[in-house]
């Protein structure tokens, strides 16, 4: 199937490091156990992994004196392993977590800071995809502010070119055996797993993250996190938008057709400049419509030979990337196929899986349905197939301009 290149049998673990004291954030307990609205910092960070369909194990590393605080969170899930106590440094804590995971022997591991509660499921999916072709991958955002270096002796200011500077985030993902070996050979003072992996000669990819995925370090960070979680005026800055798409393709002589990325045997095929995947075309328009970014024809003109017989997963992936580039994410999509034949039911789950893989969203965020028009109209006469699609995206208001 187009774009379906992720290994299907891999076991992926998430390792959440939450053993720090968090003194700079203030309060009587470490920052990762403090509340943001209805959830704790660590609880929210953990649930994004526990809820993700491609994460199979979650290992949390806690401080030596924090077991009672951890138990008070009430975290319970079949993916969640017994917490382990970390070491004196971050590197030591990560190593303790990796050793605890070793008996489960996952194929890959995502290492995350427990003080980053606003990671999205779509970023996890994007990071996992990058791991298909590299030893490691990490999230980062380009440095946006002007940087200046101050000479302490002369007070002179030097402006630093920020064009190639990126601010690293977590999670940082790796092939498990390789990052375990790198930690076994570590000096013990490394604060970043990517730096340690590069020292071990691993091939690392950079994946663009989101500014919402910030790390809570200071009291001001914690207050901002609480506002993002609870205040309507702040929450409103993250806007949900709905897009609608509709497409039609007629039948012509041929063998087999593609619907929602899945090849279906049939005595006819659909006519179109590309592969005529009416389902993915409607969904592409819905996503582009949600962010006011034109339609599929504006991005991929049918008059251009480049798109002749093109696989429509390219169009849908492009729409998803346009949303990600604006700091947004796809919340859920719903496609309805309208035809008398072929039968959609036997292929529905494969279609859902394919759309989820293309957009890098959970399968349970994808709906594919089918209906007929009771023999009425062009679809009722078996002249073609129509599709309707609805998509919801979440995106920062300032990124819509």
Q: What is the pLDDT of residues 352-362, one digit of tens each?
A: 999 998 998 88
Who has greater pLDDT, 146 or 296? 296
Distances (CA, A) of 283 to 1, 276, 292, 317, 361: 18, 13, 14, 11, 14
Q: For residue 287, what pLDDT is reported?
A: 96
For residues 57 and 216, what is the distance between their CA atoms, to the nearest angstrom?
24
For 138-174, b/e burial (b = at least 16 CB within 10 A) is: bbbbeeeeeeeeeeeeeeeeeeeeeeeeeeebbbbbb
Q: How many CB atoms lie within 10 A of CB 224?
A: 15
Using 50, 70 and 90 to split pLDDT, how confident is the model at 370?
very high
Using 50, 70 and 90 to split pLDDT, how confident is the model at 397?
low
Q: Which of 178, 58, 166, 41 is nearest to 110 (CA)?
A: 58
Which of the 8 DSSP states describes residue 83? P
For residues 139 and 116, what is the distance between their CA atoms, to the nearest angstrom?
12
Q: For residue 150, what pLDDT is reported?
A: 81
What are residue 240's DSSP bridge partners?
394
Decide: residue 360, CB within 10 A, 0-12 exposed, 13-18 middle, 19+ buried: buried
Q: What is the pLDDT of residues 12-54, one digit of tens each?
A: 999 999 988 766 777 789 999 998 877 899 999 999 998 888 8
Q: What's phi and psi for 305, nearest 5 deg?
A: -65, -25
Residue carrying the six token digits 């990671």: 119
Domains of the chain in sequence order: 12-235 (3.90.550.10), 238-400 (3.30.1330.50)
> If you count them, how many residues does the chain have?
401
Q: Which of 267, 207, 241 is nearest to 330 (CA)?
A: 241
For 328, the token pair is: 């947004």
For 372, the token pair is: 């007929």
For residues 69 and 29, what is the distance between their CA atoms, to the nearest angstrom?
9
Q: For residue 22, what pLDDT is reported?
A: 67
Q: For residue 9, what pLDDT is reported?
A: 61
Using 50, 70 and 90 to split pLDDT, how confident is the model at 236?
very low
For residues 268 and 265, what is the distance between their CA atoms, to the nearest angstrom?
9
Q: For residue 265, what pLDDT is reported?
A: 92
User: ∠ CA 277-280-286 to the nearest 5 degrees?
Assistant: 140
The fraction of the chain above a pLDDT of 90, given in percent, is 57
Pairing state between β 35-36 and 108-113: unpaired
């Amino acid at each position: 199937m187009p774009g379906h290149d992720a290994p299907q049998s891999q076991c992926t673990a998430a390792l959440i490091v939450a053993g720090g004291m968090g003194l700079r954030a203030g309060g009587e307990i470490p920052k990762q156990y403090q509340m943001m609205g209805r959830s704790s910092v660590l609880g929210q960070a953990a649930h994004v992994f526990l809820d993700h369909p491609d994460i199979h194990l979650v290992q949390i590393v806690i401080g030596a004196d924090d077991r009672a605080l951890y138990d008070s969170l009430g975290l319970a899930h079949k993916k969640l392993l017994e917490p382990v106590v970390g070491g004196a440094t971050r590197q030591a804590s990560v190593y303790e977590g990796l050793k605890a995971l070793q008996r489960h022997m996952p194929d890959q591991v995502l290492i995350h800071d427990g003080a980053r509660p606003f990671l999205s499921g779509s970023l996890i999916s994007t990071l996992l995809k990058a791991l298909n072709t590299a030893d490691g991958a990490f999230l980062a955002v380009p440095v946006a502010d002007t940087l200046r270096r101050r000479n302490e002796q002369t007070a002179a200011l030097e402006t630093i070119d920020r064009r190639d500077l990126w601010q690293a985030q977590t999670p940082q993902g790796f092939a498990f055996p390789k990052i375990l070996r790198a930690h076994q050979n570590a000096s013990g003072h490394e604060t970043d797993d990517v730096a340690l992996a590069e020292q071990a000669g691993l091939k690392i990819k950079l994946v663009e993250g989101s500014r919402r995925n910030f790390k809570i370090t200071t009291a001001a960070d914690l207050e901002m996190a609480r506002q993002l979680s609870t205040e309507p005026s702040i929450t409103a800055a993250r806007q949900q938008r709905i897009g609608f798409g509709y497409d039609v393709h007629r039948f012509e002589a041929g063998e087999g057709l593609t619907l929602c990325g899945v090849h279906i045997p049939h005595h006819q095929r659909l006519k179109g400049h590309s592969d005529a995947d009416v389902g993915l075309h409607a969904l592409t328009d819905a996503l582009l419509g949600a962010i006011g970014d034109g339609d599929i024809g504006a991005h991929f003109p049918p008059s251009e030979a480049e798109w002749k017989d093109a696989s429509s997963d390219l169009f849908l992936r492009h729409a998803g990337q346009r949303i990600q580039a604006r700091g947004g994410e796809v919340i859920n999509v719903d496609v309805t196929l309208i035809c008398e034949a072929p039968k959609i039911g036997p292929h529905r789950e494969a279609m859902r899986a394919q759309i989820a893989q293309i957009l890098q969203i959970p399968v349970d965020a994808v709906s594919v349905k089918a209906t007929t028009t009771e023999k009425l109209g062009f679809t009722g006469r078996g002249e073609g197939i129509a599709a309707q699609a609805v998509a919801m995206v979440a995106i920062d208001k300032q990124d819509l301009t």
